[in-house]
Amino acid sequence: MAGTIGTVSGIALGAGTARAGTEAPRSGTEAPRSRGARNVQDWRAVPAPGSVPAAQLRRISAAGAGLAWAVGEEGLAGPSRGRALAMVWNGSAWSKTDLSHLDYSGRLSDVAGVCATAAWSVGLPAGDASPLLRWDGATWRQASFPGRGEAGVRLESVAVGPDRRVWICGTRGGAARLLLGDGKRWTWLDPLPVASANLYRIVLRTPDEVWVSGDQASGGGWSGLVARWNGAWTVLPPIAGARLGIGDVHAAAADDVWAVGTEAGVGGPPGRPGNPVLAHWDGTAWTRVEPGFTIGSLSGIAGDAHGRAAWISGWNYQDQSRSTYLRRDGDGWTVVRGPAGGATAPYLNDVTAVPGTGGFWSAGMTSPVPAPPTEAYTERLDG
């Protein structure tokens, strides 16, 4: 792999599984407990009007109680690939943002922001390459970066620090990489020293430390990938599974990392639901934790004001009447159901904290199938 390769730490391989009814798991790895009919924890559906069915919100980010952004796609019907969808929260309502002035018709895959003039979004390639968009306080504008328009450049996820530096994970030159910039100057960092890797999410733990998650080729399939960049790469051991991908990660510390995703499994009919994945890294090994339901997915994870993992968004295939979450409960996790009546069968793609409050947002779509009449959907937990 071209370029200077960063340090890969010598972390011991290992993985285990925490199961209810067996030996008590180590701190931080207790299996979730269901709380039945009393599970609604004041999550409430918030209308997100204006999307063209079929539509979905893939990621959501908040700068505070009065400002948030959500992005995804709309107009999915038949052979149509749809088009970009972006919404903004003004403290009282969501409104759809006009994107007609952009030379882009693809799907927006992530968004991150810390204030009205420091928000960014990235999208999947449509035409030459992925777009990089900047919020100017009123709308989204295309931004330049090295590699813009270059074949094979793919921007997957974005994070913005309190110093307003922008971190992006993606692909360039056939390798998974990070792009770091301040809006004017951009630098591609050393490639991730993992062959055949795909990165889906980047999150900040400190202004100089970011974590990424995704998958990597493994025995004809793929396994879960989590890595850290703090000037050099540290790649954790793979999270083993049958076609397993990690969609989000939360690092409270180098020895307290939670990863969520989906295991597609082997065989089954087309469209077969996967299995939710919840794993914890204690600095030595990964421990798989049973999430409290067996068919579905876990999509996003958000921390509280103290940096501790707090909420996980998911989808329970066996009970789709309400949204599904996992809430941190002491050293374990509790299955929590969202509001009744918000949508017929809501599907959540992401969850995020609201800075300066104890609240959270989640985002997704009104049904698990992105076909008409599915629309964009959000829920909020007031803090």
Going residue by residue through the chain (383 aa), what tens digit of pLDDT does each one get?
332 222 223 232 233 444 322 223 333 455 555 444 344 458 999 999 999 999 999 999 999 999 999 999 999 987 767 899 999 999 999 999 999 999 887 899 999 999 998 899 999 887 767 899 999 999 999 999 999 988 889 999 999 999 999 999 999 999 999 999 999 999 999 999 999 999 999 999 999 999 999 999 988 889 999 999 999 999 999 999 989 999 999 999 999 999 999 998 866 666 678 999 999 999 999 999 999 999 999 999 999 999 999 999 999 999 999 999 999 998 899 999 999 988 999 999 999 999 999 999 999 999 999 899 999 999 999 98
- Whole-number pLDDT of residue 2: 30
Per-residue confidence (pLDDT) for residue 112, from 0 to 100: 98
The pLDDT assigned to 126 comes to 77
Closest CA to 61 of 52, 70, 53: 70
- The pLDDT value recorded for residue 81 is 76
Residue 79 buriedness (CB in 10 A; 0-12 / 13-18 / 19+):
exposed
Return the CATH number of the domain spanning residue range 20-381.
2.130.10.10
- So where are the chain's domains? 20-381
pTM for this prediction = 0.89
Which candidate, 195, 188, 194, places its Cα nearest to that of 172? 188
SS3 letters across the chain: CCCCCCCCCCCCCCEEEECCCCCCCCCCCEEEEECHHHCCCCEEEECCCCCCCCCEEEEEEEEECCEEEEEEEECCCCCCCCEEEEEEECCCCEEECCCCCCCCCCCEEEEEEEECCEEEEEECCCCCCCCEEEECCCCEEECCCCCCCCCCCEEEEEEECCCCCEEEEEEECCEEEEEEECCCCEEECCCCCCCCEEEEEEEEEECCEEEEEEEEEECCEEEEEEEEECCCEEECCCECCCCEEEEEEEEEECCEEEEEEEECCCCCCCCCCCEEEEEEECCCCEEEECCCCCCEEEEEEEECCCCCEEEEEEEECCCCCCCEEEEEECCEEEEEECCCCCCCCCEEEEEEECCCCCCEEEEEECCCCCCCCCCEEEEEECC
Which structure tokens are listed for 29?
A: 């790895």
CA distance 379 to 362: 5
From 134, 107, 118, 102, select the one nearest 67 (Cα to Cα): 118
Is the backbone peptide bond immediately before 62 cis, with ω within 30 degrees of 0? Answer: no
